[in-house]
Chain A
Amino acid sequence: MEALTPNTIPRGGQDTAKAPKRKRKGGFWSTVLQQKYLYLMSLPFVIWVFVFSYLPLWGWTMAFQNYKPARSFSEQKWVGFKYFHELFQDDRFYLVLRNTLAMSFMGLILGFVVPIFFAILLNELRGMFFKRFVQTVSYLPHFVSWVVVAGIITKMLSIDGGAVNQILMALHLTDEPIQFMAKGSWFWYIVTGSDVWKETGWNTIIYLAAITGIDPELYEASRVDGASRWRQMWHITLPGIRSTISVLLIMSIGHLISIGFEKQFLLGNNLVSDYSEVLDLYALNYGLNMGRFSYGTAIGIFNSVVSIILLFTANGIFKKITKESIM
């Protein structure tokens, strides 16, 4: 790719003799002129990205001000770390942090391990048609919105006629229906379970692609040596997708704390709010909805900073172990 330097590509018609002479540095503006269409095609979007992705970062200054929406930026009163102090002294904050970390770790472990096993088992299926069918069906919930999934999960777990309670009662595991949605202690498991239900199939795609890259001769050779299917999975398939696994692990560690709040918002209710409220939801309820913009922004900053630290730590450890970096 890099062999195609500017000089080897004829630009702007026949006059290619001039291009090599001009060299890169000297002709900055003339190159701009020559590439005007490329600039016209990318610059508007760069400005776009600046406005909608970078400009909000400027809003972080709000966390250090006593922000009043009516005043202009120069009229705001700076208060330093006041809102961070307030945040760290709020008991609710630690509760919310606990919920966030608990649900992220559960989500990380299950959302990471289950797809690997599912992909390996899918790969072992003999019938091509059946395999395709299972794949198609398992990707399906990924495309359905969390609103719908939350509705379905609530329905399945409901006390009157929910499938889960009916099965539990038919198996005599419980005498009366369990109120899953009303018990705080169940909430983390329900969220993690819904996530597994929704995303497992989808998350296998990358692993399945990695598995197809494994040399089939390895399997043949091991078969000649009399290796069982379990041994093949353990000694060929798993090591074969090791690098994919580690890259995806680092990426999910980076997103550990920013788990979003859709699930918690939609599945939670007043009865379980001590277990369902996560950082973003806390920022929404105690920041935005109460008009405390500065406080809410401080929560958001805390969230981002922790994410970035986690990502760099994970990447650093990964680099030490494998001498590779994903960033």
Chain B
Amino acid sequence: MPNKAFNATRSDKIFDICNTIFMVIVLIVTLYPFLNVLAISLNDSIDTVRGGITIWPRAFTFENYKTIFAYDTLLQGLKISILRTIVGTLLGLLSASMLAYTLSRPDFQARKFVSTFLAMTMYFSGGLIPGYILMRDLNLIGTFWVYVLPGLVSAFNVFIVRSFIDGLPYALQESAKLDGANDFTVYWRIILPLCKPVLATIALFLAVGQWNAWFDTYLYNGSNGTWTTLQYELMKVLQSTQQGGGAINANDMAKQMAQISPESIKMAITIVVTVPILIVYPFLQKYFVSGMTLGAVKS
């Protein structure tokens, strides 16, 4: 039946073409907004008001960036955002890997209990207000630690690392044990170095989560400039012109910064907030894909 075979390949070709066109549209829809924001942030603020900027700045300038980096609150936010990302990621890695190691030990007496105790937390949460009351009772409101401590142990991350350790040959641990190493040494000297790929995955999750968080700042440190974060500052700037009534921030900032329009300020801050992620992300792609798959298989 040559005719049928011919039809099949021709329809296959049409399919391939349509599919490729569809993917190109997806690419444009995903990338255009970012490029547009970047172009506006690099374009002269007065010129931007005329409109019509697409993906290339018409009157190139760094003036918008110079202006926002002269703003103290924003610099403070940047500092705190970096700090919470580093501290939160390191502590999160430590807790996830330690717990995962103990859970991967089939002979560990409390394994079942710890594992169930952790897994339960994935299905419920106390909710907004009980959480708030707890933070208040622990005197964490108005401190830096409110960013790091509540989310320190993540069941999801623990289980990802656990299934990775389960895949490692057990003989490695046994031989170390025979040499007289204790459980902590085995974890620190043998397991941890082998876990680098999976730790890279959850480091990415933790770091992105910390960097992107804004609601904890809003809830716990909203009136406290010392512990403000970059995302929260961006949120305030973006919301200020959207909510007609509370138009304080971007306009305020704009006035203070003379010639710069709120639009340009918003776009420049958006880029400052986004760029660190864009830089690290392509390097870590292979790790997070494998990490996601690992987590899915297990849960």
CB-CB under 8 A from B133, the residues of chain A are 56, 59, 62, 69, 293
The answer to whether B118 and A49 have CB atoms under 8 Å apart is yes
Known contacts A42-B98, A147-B235, A163-B32; is-contact A53 B126 (Cβ 8 Å): yes
- Render B9-20 as a binary contact track against A, CB cut-off 8 A, 1 for contact: 001100110011
The contact of A228 among B11, B153, B277, by CB within 8 Å, is B11
Residue of B nearest to A118 (CB): B26
Q: How far is the CA of A134 from the CA of B31 in the complex (A)?
A: 11
Q: Which of A13, A54, A126, A301 contacts B16 (CB 8 A)?
A: A126
* Alpha-carbon distance between A226 and B11 when the two chains are bound, in angstroms: 12
Tell me whether A147 and B127 are in contact in the complex, defined as CB-CB below 8 angstroms, given that A38-B102, A140-B281 are known contacts.
Answer: no
Interface string of A50-67 (1 = CB under 8 A from B): 111111111110100000
Which B residues lie at the A interface, using CB under 8 A?
1, 4-5, 8, 11-12, 15-16, 19-20, 22-23, 26-27, 29-34, 36-37, 51-53, 95, 98-99, 101-103, 105-110, 114, 117-118, 121, 123-134, 136, 138, 149-153, 155, 166, 170, 174, 177-178, 180, 182-184, 187, 208, 211-215, 219, 231, 234-235, 238-239, 242-245, 266-267, 270, 273-274, 277-278, 281-282, 285, 289, 292-293, 296
**Contact indicator B51/A226 (Cβ below 8 Å):** no
Pick the most buried of A124, A197, A280: most chain B CB atoms within 10 A of its CB.
A124
Chain A residues, Cβ within 8 Å of B151: 52
Q: How far is the CA of A230 from the CA of B11 in the complex (A)?
A: 9
Nearest A residue (CB) for B281: A143
Find B274's partner among A9, A50, A138, A144 (CB 8 Å cutoff).
Answer: A144
Query: B105 CB to closest chain A CB, in angstroms?
Result: 6
A303 at the interface (CB under 8 A from B): yes
Asked if B292 and A52 sit within 8 Å, CB to CB, the answer is no
**Which residues in A have some Cβ–Cβ distance to B below 8 Å?**
1-2, 4-6, 9-11, 13, 28, 31-32, 35, 37-42, 45-46, 48-60, 62, 69, 118, 121-122, 124-126, 130, 133-134, 136-141, 143-148, 150-152, 154-156, 160-161, 163, 181, 197, 201, 205-206, 209, 226-230, 244, 254, 262, 265-266, 269-270, 280, 283-284, 287-288, 293, 296-297, 300-301, 303-304, 308, 311
A38-B108, A229-B12 known; A197 and B99 CB under 8 Å?
no
Residues of chain A contacted by B107 (CB below 8 angstroms): 4-6, 9, 11, 35
Bound-state CA distance A45–B29 (Å) is: 43
Q: A201 and B150: CB pair below 8 A? A: no
Give 30 pairs: A residue, B residue, CB < 8 Å, sorted on A.
Answer: A11-B107, A28-B109, A31-B109, A38-B105, A41-B183, A42-B102, A53-B121, A55-B134, A56-B125, A56-B130, A59-B130, A62-B130, A124-B15, A125-B23, A130-B23, A133-B27, A136-B285, A137-B27, A138-B30, A143-B281, A144-B274, A147-B212, A148-B273, A148-B274, A163-B32, A163-B33, A205-B292, A205-B293, A269-B243, A300-B129
Complex: chain B residue closest to A292, CB-CB: B129
Cα A301 to Cα B182 in complex, Å, equals 45
User: Taking CB as reference atom, which chain A residue is nearest B124?
Assistant: A304
Nearest-neighbor residue (CB-CB) of B236 within chain A: A147
List residues of chain A with CB within 8 A of the CB of B277.
143-144
* Chain A residues, Cβ within 8 Å of B127: 56, 59-60, 283, 297, 300-301, 303-304
Say yes or no: B19 contacts A151, CB within 8 Å.
no
Contact A156 B33, beta carbon cutoff 8 Å:
yes
Q: Are B52 and A59 in contact (CB under 8 A)?
A: no
- Which residues does chain B contribute within 8 Å of A287, judged by CB atoms? 128-129
Given contacts A11-B177, A144-B212, contact A52 B29 (CB under 8 A): no
Nearest neighbor of B183 in chain A, beta-carbon distance? A37
A124-B19 CB under 8 A given contacts A13-B180, A280-B128: yes
Is B114 within 8 A of A206, CB to CB?
no
Contact A125 B19, beta carbon cutoff 8 Å: yes
Cross-chain contact A40 with B184 (CB below 8 angstroms): yes
Q: Contact: B128 with A283, CB < 8 Å?
A: yes
In the complex the two chains form, what is the Cα distance from A62 to B153 in whole Å?
26
Chain B residues lying within 8 Å of A147, measured Cβ to Cβ, are: 212, 214, 231, 234-235, 238, 273
Instruction: Please indicate the chain A residues that have their CB under 8 angstroms from the CB of B208 in the complex.
Output: 143
Report yes or no: B110 in contact with A59, Cβ–Cβ below 8 A: no
Q: Which of B26, B102, B108, B134 contacts A52 (CB 8 A)?
A: B134
Could you tell me the distance in whole angstroms from the C-beta of B233 to the nearest C-beta in chain A? Answer: 10
Residues of B within 8 A of A283 (CB): 127-129
A314 to chain B, nearest CB (A): 13
Q: Specify which chain A residues have a CB less than 8 angstroms from the CB of B126 in the assembled complex.
A: 53, 55-57, 59-60, 300
List residues of chain B with CB within 8 A of the CB of A11: 107, 177
Contacts of B23 in A (CB 8 A): 121-122, 125, 130, 134
Contact, CB under 8 Å: A59 / B134 = yes
Query: CA separation between A20 and B5, bound complex, in Å?
Result: 69
How many whole Å from A235's CB to the nearest CB in chain B?
14
**Known contacts A45-B99, A155-B37, then 4 further A-B pairs from the complex at CB < 8 Å, ordered by chain A residue:** A56-B126, A121-B22, A197-B29, A206-B293
